[in-house]
Amino acid sequence: MQISLADLQKRLEGLQAGRVEAMASLNTYDGAIQECQHWIALLSQQEGKSDANQVPEKCHARRR
């Protein structure tokens, strides 16, 4: 079985598009993690303790 140049170029384009999508997803998760860490640190500092139940609801909604 031979692979043509056009087939390889099409595959490369698909892989590159998938990489862009995966990186965007990773950045979304990273931002959500940073946001939760920020709120945990802020609440811990204000109350002198760390309690996951006090993290804003939007952080809980992002868990899977």
pTM: 0.61
Which tops the pLDDT comparison, 23 or 1? 23
CA separation for the pair 31, 23 (Å, rounded): 12
What torsion do the CA atoms of 7, 13, 15, 18 make, to the nearest 10 degrees?
Answer: -140
Could you tell me if residue 13 is inside a domain?
A: yes
CA separation for the pair 61, 64 (Å, rounded): 8
For the chain, give the mean pLDDT. Answer: 86
Could you tell me if residue 1 is inside a domain?
A: no
Q: Domain limits at 49?
A: 7-61
Question: Which pLDDT value is given to residue 54?
Answer: 57
Question: Which pLDDT value is given to residue 50?
Answer: 47
Give me the number of domains the chain comprises. 1
Could you tell me if residue 2 is inside a domain?
A: no
* Structure confidence by residue, pLDDT tens digits, 10-31: 999 999 999 999 999 999 999 9
